[in-house]
Amino acid sequence: MTIPTPDADTVEPRRSRTRRGVAAAVIGLLALTACTSDPGPKRVAQDIIKAESVDNPDLDEECLLEQLDEYSDDELSAISDGLEQTGPTQDEAEAQLAEYQASLESCL
């Protein structure tokens, strides 16, 4: 029995999908947990990024932390608070969350 070996065309897309999947998980965790923690949303987000980077060396920890630094605790809390509202406030918070996610995704 011959076991096929992956060629470069199949390995790289799989790696990219893994990186994207992990990054999406990090982004999701940041969006969900960064807003309601005691040490502050930014600190929790930093801890998540650092922990995920240890487990997933393909993640660009420095870039993710730099993007996170663009947001203050107050801004992250405002996004979280806005998402709990309805109407225009929630719409604005969703737009801000999308910007935040896009800034993190730029690190991929």
pTM of the model: 0.67
The mean per-residue pLDDT over the stretch 83-92 comes to: 89
pLDDT at 43 exceeding the cut of 60: yes
- Number of domains making up the chain: 1
Q: Side chain identity at 80, as an amino acid letter? A: S
Residue 63 resides in a domain:
yes
State the residue range of the domain holding 37.
30-105
Which of the pair, 44 or 31, is modelled with greater confidence?
Answer: 44
Residue 71 resides in a domain:
yes
Residue 6 resides in a domain:
no
pLDDT at 85 exceeding the cut of 70: yes
Residue 14 resides in a domain:
no
Residue 76 resides in a domain:
yes
Residue 99 resides in a domain:
yes
What's the pLDDT band for 46 if we cut at 50, 70, 90? confident
- Is residue 89 within 8 Å of 82, Cβ to Cβ? yes
What is the chain's mean pLDDT, rounded?
Answer: 75
Residue 45 resides in a domain:
yes
